[in-house]
A and B are shown apart, each in its own frame.
Chain A
Amino acid sequence: MFTGENIVQIVAVFLNWAYAQLGISFLAGVINPIISAVVMFGFIAVFVMFLVWMERKVSAHMQSRIGPNRVGPLGLLQTVADAIKLTIKEDVKPVKRDKIPYFIAPIVAFVATFMGMVVIPFDKGMVVQDLNVGILYIIAITGFTVIAILTAGWSSNNKFALLGGFRSAAQIISYEVPLVLSVVPIIMITGTLSLTGIVEYQHQAGYWFILPQFFAFLIFITSATAEANRAPFDIPEAESELIGGFHTEYSGVKFAMFFLGEYIAVVVSSAVAVTLFFGGWLPLPFLGSLPIPGFIWFLAKLLLVIYLIMAFRWTFPRLRVDQLMDFGWKVLLPISILNILLTAAVWLLLYGKGAQ
């Protein structure tokens, strides 16, 4: 079968041959990561463009509209046109901005989320770098976005942007805790932090973690939505209250970086959700014999989870700031701790030393 692992091997063999022909084998350690990064960036750029189109279509059909349908077939090229418009736009900057942080913030916002893609396994062996601390790495690196947002809000020298940045900091710190705690039961069961290892465990166990860990999935998807600053947790950029929130003063390419970062955050958190709870590249039960490569399964599941997050945005009303804090600390946190305790108890009873 033509799997993702085969593709990676073929590419590796071709690259090694090319290095040998050019006599630069000693540079392979430098060039290979660059190639991975470029391929990943190309994929993510095209995928995010598709996602923006998809979001607009989803929202349109949920509101009995049609959505973009003028540029290209079914309006698929609408996002390309938008991207071109954003890149050639004038970069309007506030005069009294804090120059260096103002410049760095969008880059950090984009890079911090983009780095999360490094450990996402698209298929068996089809991963840029299978870190043995994968899940910890993702949580740590996506936590950088709060610094970017806070910097952006502060350096813009605008009260709305500053408020947006502060709200975002409060929100992300609050929701980081249940996010991590919802992942803990799975790490306890599998005994590994590597995302590939977690999928392998689900392959051997024969079930996906959505079955035993349904509440963990709910907590994870809620916290991930809050982490990505998406509605109903979009108070950092609540249009009706704070204009644009932290990116009020950004325009053109810099705004595009924030926008891209937000969608990459959605992709990364959905990809982690697929890996942890939906068996990553594993095929659906009873359909394993179909000649469909694993990364197609992965992308299909990824799109489903992203659709869920989009449906959240166009269904639920925005939370107030105090409701947001209440929900994070009084509901998500106790339930995730309870989930850890229950999982640990059940696992001890079933597989612990005393149970034998």
Chain B
Amino acid sequence: MEIFTYFKNVFSGLWNLMVGLSVTTRYFFNFKAVTTQQYPEERLPLPARSRSMIKLIYDGEKDQFNCVACLMCAKACPNSCIKLEGVRQADGKRRMTTFKLDFSTCIFCGYCVEACGFDALTFVSEEYENAVYKRGSLLQDEHAMKWVRPPQPVAEEAQKTEMATPAVAGA
């Protein structure tokens, strides 16, 4: 009887190998299964909430930054890489004059964005190619970090305000 087991094993092994080959051959001829993105030419669309770069939101209508220089972000920063100055304007409101973020020490923890109560700092998703040739280029000021929020569809806008409201109220 052992001889039957032997041949059974040989043929079942052969069959298993054939099944394996059929799988790889199917993938080989299925050219649509290719998932590689040709990076410099093709770019993967990033999720809207992915965190790539910290930006200062600029309000195009009021022609000013949203930042009021409350220094909450600078206090929240664990590496102290945010330096900013503000000035009190004639109408009694504070406005940010200079804002410097040293990305060479920034760890992108996002505490500054969370701490900001005036919708002045945000993560943007699309600017993820942040390599530079000199370390000094990583020290960015408010001009380099200026970012205008693109106009958003109405439905999303409503959802966003709904979600943002408690945060603002809490702050």
Contacts and interface: CB of A to CB of B under 8 A. Distances in A.
A315 B38 CA distance: 26
B28 A311 contact: yes
Interface residues of A, number: 15
Given A311-B24, A315-B24, A61 B14 contact: no
B36 A314 contact: no
B28 A66 contact: no
A58 B28 contact: yes
A312 B20 CA distance: 9
Contacts of B23: 315
18 contacts: A61-B27, A61-B29, A62-B24, A62-B27, A64-B33, A64-B34, A64-B35, A65-B34, A65-B35, A66-B36, A66-B38, A218-B14, A311-B24, A314-B24, A315-B17, A315-B20, A316-B17, A335-B10
Given A61-B34, A64-B33, A66-B36, A315 B10 contact: no
B25 interface: yes
A311 B34 contact: no
B14 A62 contact: no
A63 B36 CA distance: 10
Interface in A20-74: 58, 61-66
B25 A311 contact: yes
Contacts of B72: none
Contacts of A61: 27-29, 31, 33-34
A64 B10 contact: no
B21 interface: yes
Which 5 residue pairs are nearest across A and B when measured between Cβ atoms? A315-B24, A62-B24, A66-B36, A64-B33, A61-B28
A11 interface: no
Given A61-B31, A64-B27, A65-B34, A311 B21 contact: yes
Given A61-B34, A66-B36, A316-B17, A331 B10 contact: yes
A151 B29 CA distance: 41
Given A65-B35, A66-B34, 15 more contacts: A58-B28, A61-B27, A61-B33, A62-B24, A62-B27, A62-B28, A63-B27, A64-B34, A64-B35, A65-B34, A66-B36, A311-B24, A311-B28, A312-B21, A315-B24
Nearest to A232: B17
Contacts of B10: 331, 335
A218 B34 CA distance: 31
Nearest to B7: A335
A65 B24 contact: no
Contacts of B35: 64-65
A218 B28 CA distance: 22
Contacts of A64: 27, 33-36
Interface string B23-53: 1110111010111101000000000000000
A312 B24 CA distance: 9
B30 to A, nearest CB: 8
Contacts of A315: 17, 20-21, 23-24
A175 B21 CA distance: 22
Interface string A313-356: 01110000000000000010001000000000000000000000
A61 B23 CA distance: 12
Q: Which of A58, A218, A311 has the most CB of B within 10 A?
A: A311
Contacts of B38: 66
Contacts of B28: 58, 61-62, 311
Q: Which of A62, A316, A331 has the most CB of B within 10 A?
A: A62
A65 B20 contact: no
B9 to A, nearest CB: 9
Q: Which of B24, B35, B38 has the most CB of A within 10 A?
A: B24
Contacts of A312: 21
Contacts of B29: 61
B18 to A, nearest CB: 10
B70 to A, nearest CB: 50
A316 B28 CA distance: 15
Q: Which of B10, B28, B33, B34 has the most CB of A within 10 A?
A: B28
A5 B19 CA distance: 41
A112 to B, nearest CB: 29
A66 B31 CA distance: 9
B5 to A, nearest CB: 13
Interface string A283-327: 000000000000000000000000000011011100000000000
A316 B14 CA distance: 12
Nearest to B31: A61
Q: Which of A64, A314, A331, A335 has the most CB of B within 10 A?
A: A64
